[in-house]
Structure 1
Amino acid sequence: MTGPQERQRATALGAISILMWSALALLTVLTGKIPPFQLAAMTFAIGAIVGGAWIIAQGRALRAAMAWPPRVWLLGVGGLFGYHLLYFVALRQAPPAEANLINYLWPLLIVLLSAPIGGERLRAWHLGGAVLGLAGIVVLTLGRGEVGFAGAHWPGYLAALGCAVVWAVYSVTSRRFGEVPTDAVAAFCAAAAVLAALCHLAVETTVWPATTGAWAAVAALGVAPVGAAFYLWDIGMKRGDIRALGALSYATPILSTALLVAAGRAAATPTLLLAAALVVGGAVLASRDLWRRAA
């Protein structure tokens, strides 16, 4: 049974993964022209090495991280690799703005699924917080003036919706596999790296990083957004407040955009502040139980 303090700690660790994911867009831009599946293979491999090093440093056997029944592998590899596969398809078959908007239904789905799958009690403020967060993303996307859903892109829209469903189901269902330690994520990352490499060899031409900075960006991606973030997210989903983390997840695109602005890769707009206010308000509302407990 998870106690209040452990629950708060696990939620905080899950929130750190959200901060790490906010650097995903900027770091990806800094990697240069590396094809998507090749980049996924490289970064998942680094993420697996990070997890493996942690397991060894803790005095545990690597083999133990792999000894799980097929349903555990299906959930882990299906969640990590399945999400990225659908995401790449969505970006190729639909405009990025629309694809990302649909993809970011996953935090709302996490909140909605927290009751039937995660065993949480869903209150009005949890749902309200998630809806506010979604409103923030809609404001951010519409503020760019880039959205115009067209019927010709429906395969990409479906793939983006698949992204949202896969990641939400993977995240919340992890709660039902609480007996599986986070060490197993290292094995999932390794399997995802192999699958991504196979997809790369089948459909892409290899392009290696052109500069030292690009190599550093690849390494940073593998260590944090595609490495440590998955381990922390696993802890948060298994022992933290799923509803609060779902609403907090809407901070990812806001922080991501802010980082791009700070790095001179995007322009600041008034809608960014409004979107940020909606997301923060939604996160505070959905995390009401945690604030009460802390008080």
Structure 2
Amino acid sequence: MSEKSQSRAVLLALGAVLLWSTVATAFKLSLQHMSPLQLLGWAGVFSTLVLAVGVSWQQGWGELKRQWCQRPLYYLALGVLNPAFYYLVLFRAYDLLPAQQAQALNYTWALTLALLAVPLLKQSLQRVDLLAMLLGYSGALVIATRGDLLALEFDSLPGVGLALFSTLIWALYWILNTRAEGSPAVTLLLCFLCGTPLVWGLMIWQGEWMLPPWQGLLGAAYVGVFEMGLTFMLWLGAMRAATHVSRIANLIFLSPFLSLVFIYLFLHEPIAPATFVGLALIVAAVVIQQRGRRSEPAPAAEQP
């Protein structure tokens, strides 16, 4: 069991936020050279290698073996959710939408988490939760329609649907992940050892197993190392070290605003005013929600 330290959790979370701010740009650049399935398959390979190095550094192979032998179906389920299902849905959303829309919509996962906590964790929705959801999903609608709410015209309705569906998968993964008993590196490596072969099997079945152009491969390496590998370890470590999880979770909403800077500089996407308005609504929703739950307990992963 790891020692609780809120200051350590903040440092880990800020590192994760900074790295995550770059990945929306990396997704779009990589998808110019490969399909969503190829990006997921190759990024999964690089991420697995990074996580294996992390487990080796921590001398955690014995722990990995014990965790797998005790709960193989649990880790297989986690691996199906992440990386396989979640990233396949998310990358397809990025393929269909402007980067600014896909990344902003994906950040409504905290609201989805509150919804899933009702049936899965037996938590109740308070008035503040309902207000936050109304505000947050209104922000998502503003972003998806570029502010033209009455016309309800979307750049890609399937893309919007996939981006929002990805938040459901992501929230479900984090709820299940709180039951993990292993270290963050061990847990994540088990997920990728289970999920990545499934993705490669699908790639072979679809005839997309060939080596991509070097630009795509470089992008997949960046995504695998920083989005799927190192950053996950930082974020999981932050969540498990935190004494107040909600305060750490709020830091993630710095990322979409930083991400817009990278999108503008490297993708040359004009940032729509509606994107800023929608993100402000989403962030306000999360702040309202978390202030209504100041006495949140430690994460379940650290409880017996």
Smaller-chain TM-score range?
0.7 to 0.9
In 2, the alpha carbon distance for the partners of 1:40 and 1:230 equals: 15
User: Which 10-residue stretch deviates more, 183-192 or 65-74?
Assistant: 65-74
Give the superposed CA RMSD: 4.1
Paired letter, 2:5: E
User: Which 10-residue stretch deviates more, 44-53 or 156-165?
Assistant: 156-165
Contact between 2:28 and 2:94, CA under 8 Å: does it hold in 1? no
Residue from 71, 74, 90 that aligns with 2:73 = 71
Contact between 1:112 and 1:127, CA under 8 Å: does it hold in 2? no
In structure 2, list runs of 5 or more residues that go unmatched: 297-304
| Structure 2 residue aligned with 1:269 | 272
SS in 1 for 2:214: coil
In 2, the alpha carbon distance for the partners of 1:283 and 1:158 equals: 21
SS in 1 for 2:59: coil
User: Which 10-residue stretch deviates more, 126-135 or 272-281?
Assistant: 126-135
SS in 2 for 1:263: helix
| Structure 2 residue aligned with 1:172 | 175
Contact between 1:51 and 1:186, CA under 8 Å: does it hold in 2? yes
Paired residue total: 285
Deviation at 1:128, TM superposition (A): 4.2
Contact between 1:35 and 1:207, CA under 8 Å: does it hold in 2? no
Paired letter, 1:148: E
| Structure 1 residue aligned with 2:116 | 113
Paired letter, 2:73: R
Paired letter, 2:35: P
SS in 1 for 2:39: helix
User: Which 10-residue stretch deviates more, 49-58 or 240-249?
Assistant: 240-249
TM-score, length-normalised on structure 2? 0.72
| Structure 2 residue aligned with 1:55 | 55
Change (3 A) 1:244 1:79: farther
Query: Sequence identity, in percent?
Result: 22
| Structure 2 residue aligned with 1:222 | 224
In 1, the alpha carbon distance for the partners of 2:247 and 2:142 equals: 21
Deviation at 1:123, TM superposition (A): 5.3
Change (3 A) 1:111 1:229: farther
| Structure 2 residue aligned with 1:163 | 166
Contact between 1:118 and 1:175, CA under 8 Å: does it hold in 2? no
TM-score, length-normalised on structure 1? 0.74
Contact between 1:172 and 1:237, CA under 8 Å: does it hold in 2? no
Q: Deviation string for 1:182-230 (max 9, x for gaps)?
A: 112112113322222221222244352334xx54433221111121222
Paired letter, 1:44: G
In structure 1, list runs of 5 or more residues that go unmatched: none
Contact between 1:248 and 1:283, CA under 8 Å: does it hold in 2? no
Paired letter, 1:112: L
| Structure 1 residue aligned with 2:33 | 33
Paired letter, 1:23: T
Contact between 2:104 and 2:256, CA under 8 Å: does it hold in 1? no
Change (3 A) 1:285 1:105: closer
| Structure 2 residue aligned with 1:203 | 206
